Amino acid sequence: MRKAKQYDWKDSNLALFGSDTEKNVKKESAQTEKAWKGAGSKLGLQIWRIKKFKVTDVPKEEYGSFYNGDSYILLNTYKKDPDSMAFDYDVHFWIGKFSTQDEYGTAAYKTVELDTLLDDKPIQHREVEGHESALFKSYFKSLTYWKGGADSGFRCVEPTSYEPRLLHVHGTKKKIECKEIPFCMDNLTKDDVFVIDLGLKIFQWNGDDANKDERYSAGQYIRVLKSERSGKPEVIVLDDQTLDDVPEELLEVIPKSSNEDPDEDLEDPDPKEKVLFQLSDRTGSLQFNEIARGTAVKRNLLKNDDVFILDTGSHCYVWTGPQASIDERRNAMTYAHNYLSSTKHPLLPVTCIKGGAESNEFNKAF
């Protein structure tokens, strides 16, 4: 089975995002998108998956689970002022590690379409698998990453041909993550909890040093999996496990090592200093220039008639002045994306901020 190709973010380009084509999406066109029916009409989270260029609903029981071969759109509807009748919105497009350029280009395009439908009120965010913003993570009690695309799920295959999976459950009550990892014995440890999913038989490996939150969350995951499979799987819990007492049954089905390449950590481990860029067309053409770095980055450098991109090292903000030109606004995200692609930390979350509607997180970044 050929391994999915991981996209090279150093050469990336969101061709549709910020282009004239993308920004010319009319509100009337957005209203014809069936997936947007009821979008933003009530408080709470809504999630859609991009599947063959189409926007498809994600069942609520699958919220928090993401396939790394797909791209998603998330809309969170809330009220800043509980007494107000008006809704506020955050819209995120999430890019899986192996999502194709067509898929995340469509997600970006459709995100803008949704923004248009909601009268440009949402704050837009770009999220990349494994590097999500704190806001994105706050929507879920836990995050689960699955290999492949949506069609690779259990419901789409016969139990006898189900490809075994190994999920790593780790963290604390504050945040538990469940991530699919290469299916091999070398990845089992006594420090965490693992779910060994064989389709019609599911093992919960509770490492000897695993904490109670990891054990509880793994049990929740398994209950969901069993429910999705009409209660058919047999569940076996292995408590206080070490590598010296692996059941013979598992030794027969799990290879010792894996041929898969380990995930690449594309983030530069060195601490970053803040950098502020200005995007302006006051000379007659768009100019993108660094204007401050480190301690010289100040809030009062932002001017209402331009766009500014702030790279904090852990988050990238696109600030659009209320008097910024159409070209500056249309190309802001593209410049931010392409700038990050040229750095050693291309996967940072990106948040678009409108002048006059700054978030606390943005203000604290200075």
Between the alpha carbon of residue 306 and those of residues 22, 47, 298, 315, 352, the distances in Å are 21, 33, 16, 20, 14
The three-class DSSP label of residue 110 is helix
Work out the average pLDDT over 308-320.
Answer: 95
The predicted-structure confidence for 1-25, as pLDDT tens digits, reads as follows 344 445 444 344 454 454 444 444 4
Residues 6+ apart with CB under 8 A from 51: 70, 149, 150
Domain count, the chain: 3
In a domain? residue 136:
yes
Dihedrals φ, ψ of 237, to 5°? -100, 125
The three-class DSSP label of residue 206 is strand
Residues 6+ apart with CB under 8 A from 151: none
- Residue 99: give its domain's CATH number: 3.40.20.10
Q: Of 104, 119, 146, which residue constitutes the final position of a domain?
A: 146
Judgement on whether residues 293 and 335 belong to the same structural domain of the protein:
yes
- From CA 283, how far away is CA 288, in angstroms rounded? 11
Judgement on whether residues 357 and 289 belong to the same structural domain of the protein:
yes
Name the least confident of 37-41, 160-164, 300-304: 160-164
* Token pair 């939150």 in the structure block, residue: 213
Judgement on whether residues 124 and 228 belong to the same structural domain of the protein:
no
In a domain? residue 112:
yes
| CB burial of residue 156 (10 Å; 0-12, 13-18, 19+) | exposed
Judgement on whether residues 357 and 279 belong to the same structural domain of the protein:
yes
pLDDT-derived band of residue 242, with 50, 70 and 90 as boundaries? Answer: confident
In a domain? residue 153:
no
Task: Give the pLDDT of residue 161.
Answer: 56
The predicted-structure confidence for 35-85, as pLDDT tens digits, reads as follows 899 999 999 999 999 988 889 999 998 898 898 889 999 999 999 888 888
Judgement on whether residues 195 and 245 belong to the same structural domain of the protein:
yes
pLDDT at 271 over 80: no
The predicted-structure confidence for 177-233, as pLDDT tens digits, reads as follows 888 888 898 899 889 999 999 888 999 999 989 999 899 889 988 887 888 788 888
pLDDT at 255 over 60: yes
The percent of residues above 90 in pLDDT, for the chain, comes to 38
pLDDT at 148 over 80: no
Which range of residues forms the domain containing residue 187? 165-252
Between the alpha carbon of residue 153 and those of residues 212, 252, 365, the distances in Å are 28, 24, 40
- Which two three-digit tokens encode residue 261? 């390449």
Judgement on whether residues 53 and 114 belong to the same structural domain of the protein:
yes
